Amino acid sequence: MLASRTPVSLHHRIVAGGQRRRCIGGSERKPQGRHFTQALESLWRHSPRILPRPAAAAATGGDAKSSWQTPVVLENAAFEEYYKVQQIVHKEEWDAFMSVLRKPLPATFRINACCQFYKDICSKLENDFRRYLESEVYGEDAIRPLPWYPGNLAWHLNFSRKELRKNQALESFHEFLKHESEVGNITRQEAVSMVPPLFLNVQPDHHILDMCASPGSKTFQLLEMIHQSKEPGLLPGALVMANDLYVQRCDLLIHNTKRMCTANLIVTNHEAQNFPDCSLAKDYSEAYKDTCKPQGLEFDRILCDVPCSGDGTIRKGHEMWRKWNSGMGNQLHLLQVNIAMRGIALLKVGGRMVYSTCSMNPVENEAVVAELLRRSGNSVELLDVSSELPELVRRPGLSTWKVQDRGCWFQTHDDVPHDKKNVVLPSMFTSSNGTEGSHTVRGDVEVNIDDRSSLRNCNIEETSKNNHDMDGLPINTNKKFDCTSNILNSKFPLHRCMRIVPHDQNSGAFFIAVLHKLSPLNGCQIQGTKIQHPLAKGITAQPQKEPESETRLYKTSLTRQQNIVSKVVDSAEVLGRQQNLSMDNQTSNDNSTEVEMVFNGVESSRAESGDSMRLQKQSRWKGVDPVLFFKDEVVIKSIISFFGIKESFPLRGHLVTRSTDNARRIYYVSKSVKNILELNTEVGEQLKIVSLGIKMFESHRSKDCSSCAYRLSYEGLSLLLPYISKRILYASPLDFHRLLQYRSINFAYFVDARFGEEAASLMPGCCVVVLLEGHKHVDSICKDPSTVAIVCWRGKGTMNVMVSPPDRKDLLERMAYRFGLEACTEGD
């Protein structure tokens, strides 16, 4: 009998969604009532509703479905007016520019050259899919490598993501892309989004900061770079620190970078403009002078891909056509400046920072770069990188632009009315001097930023009289404003910035500027990274002794900007940068898929108030368990003895956990990450670390293996395999394939009887099964990076595979490709 399961399934879906959100940042949180409420609201909001039929259709009885589904209009008069005035392309190119913007964006992806099966993927792509697509589907250039990306690792498809999903002829290729992306062998990423990391010129020993990292495609790209540069069999000396403001976006960042299986990544959760430098106190600094340990956070390379209006991604989402307005860029300008200035402060002398946006707006691009150069003085230079990536078609940055606010155009800050000068900032303008056309232009099209902005437009005169704006914030009407801080931008070589426009190479739009730090910032410049522009006439840039009234005016503007940022991000960044999240290879979802993080399922510390030792192990960050070095010598010795781990592998001092009691999972970190952790401990955990390291060992509860309480994790096997001398079995391709296919096999049922006997003679517990290919010698096979191996459990009478379903499917695909064996798994 079939019972109605709708109420039950809805209940389970809501409760499960709440439970999944409990595990945030590598820690279990107490369930909160708002999660349940939000889930219900989301359910009601997205539930299908039966709409009343139109009167005409009801009267005739006809089908009115077609009348409801009005096509999306790819037009926005304000958008066209704005960018025509800014002259981002020549007049004769305008029609071609707009025509390309209205076409779907071609799909692109990048192959991970560090993955174990890189050669197999390239071969399958070239010999199978490329030939099929060119001969059967789209003809020549259906799929081709991007000429400017090194090593032919990035590929351009002559069809969009929607076509890829809907076209039956592309189904097998689509499944290939989804599967390879899931296991980390490829990354599906917009072509122009791959450009900024390439200009960082990453080296093997660099410490790299990605300031606004989520969803993680660029972070993954940086990890590929540092692992490509390493010596075989060794961990890279480099480090990538990926940061994001929002916890939910950190979850997605962790999920995406987890595919890399790296010990050289730290994920943090901070405001980028206030990212901590973890500087040691002077007495500690003196003690550290003669050591190689860091005395504070400094980075060789910084990727500053800031939140932006996202109109460069307009080809990916139709909503941007409807919602775009010029105010989106204006409201983010100050935040972008402050984030980038913080990046410069954290950059080492001689280091390189890339500032980038997926916006075409000069207020978010050249204006920000000019302000960075002004604030930094001679400490920073804008690099000419025209000789790098010569096959990439790019255009020089703009040298002049105008600022629009609520339908009004301004050439200089002098043209801005007094009641708007704490919103329209001097740093947004091209220069302070009056130039040709230096007058206010009243636009025919009024662009409303939001409902609140519309109210301001209607009441500007009234609010000016009351000396308060519509937010209740005071307007300083007694002070005069000028652009003393806005040096002529002609002094800055803004032509060295790079603009990528869509119709040059059938892509999205992007802006990139490469900055080089020549000398340390002085005290005023460093403090200035956390304060706003001095706005009043006669105020010198001395942040330590700023007049109280001007400080209050600064804070008023900053508060207004920060209050608006979240709304702008919702309406712009979500439409822009976060559209990468909608790619169909992304299987994570807040309400339907549990995001498995690198530090997932971490036990709560459950410290009791009376236990001082427990309190010392508490993290200073609410909801995030502390990162603890694993120092249980008895356990470490049992692991080393059981698996025969060689002394040449640096195990001690590199193991961490987040559990204060019995650790369920033990993670491994590289030397560079270890040094940062030690520094963070010395400075009182200034860094809010939500994830780091690679899972190396997991506890088990089997009574059959009492000599070692931990088993190996498949994620860390490739790193540890060359150093294991015990618990290794070598299987023929046929037996290896059977293990993957059936997951559990009785010793007597192996094709190779000798392998079955060796498995039966092994002591119960965790072991490693290595694929024995060709004529490889057993003594050297484990040292070969291309060696295929899996983690298994030797039970009482069976050998059991301990590999996740996606990884098992991936290995079966490789077996099928190399040996012609069946690729399907049991239950497929």
Binding site, by residue number, is: 244, 305
Helix (H, G, I), strand (E, B) or coil at 219: helix
Amino acid identity, residue 545?
K
Amino acid identity, residue 132?
Y
Closest-CA residue to 790 (of 828, 708, 710, 735)? 735
Read off φ and ψ for residue 503, nearest 5 degrees.
Answer: -80, -5
Token reading at 348: 């080492």
CA 62 – CA 2 distance, rounded (Å): 36
Please identify which residue in the block is written with the tokens 């060696």.
787
**Residue 442 has what DSSP assignment?**
E
CA 328 – CA 371 distance, rounded (Å): 19
Could you list the residues known to form a binding site for S-adenosyl-L-methionine, using ranges.
244, 305
CA 253 – CA 597 distance, rounded (Å): 9
Q: Annotated catalytic residue: which of 114, 358, 483, 792?
A: 358
Amino acid identity, residue 726?
K
Read off φ and ψ for residue 797, nearest 5 degrees.
Answer: -140, 5
Residues 6+ apart with CB under 8 A from 119: none
Would you say 347 and 341 are in contact if contact means Cβ atoms under 8 Å apart? no
CA 565 – CA 332 distance, rounded (Å): 6
Helix (H, G, I), strand (E, B) or coil at 513: strand
List beta partners, residue 515: 353, 382
Cite the beta strand spans of 502-637 per DSSP E.
510-517, 628-629
Question: 551: buried, middle or exposed (CB in 10 Å: 19+, 13-18, 0-12)?
Answer: middle
Total residue length of the chain: 828
What are the helix (H) ranges across 183-305?
A: 195-198, 217-228, 247-257, 282-288
3-state secondary structure 654-696: CEEECCCCCCCEEEECCHHHHHHHHHHHHCCCCCCEEEECEEE
Read off φ and ψ for residue 825, nearest 5 degrees.
Answer: -100, 165
CA distances from 340 to 303, 546, 582, 706 (A): 9, 22, 28, 54
List beta partners, residue 745: 799
Could you count the other beta carbons within 10 Å of the beta carbon of residue 663?
A: 23
CA 486 – CA 483 distance, rounded (Å): 5
Residues 6+ apart with CB under 8 A from 395: 498, 499, 500, 501, 504
Helix (H, G, I), strand (E, B) or coil at 380: strand
Token reading at 421: 């000068």
Nearest 5°: the CA angle 442, 446, 449 is: 125
CA atoms within 13 A on the CB side of 320: 27
250 is catalytic: no
CA 86 – CA 302 distance, rounded (Å): 29
Catalytic residues: 358
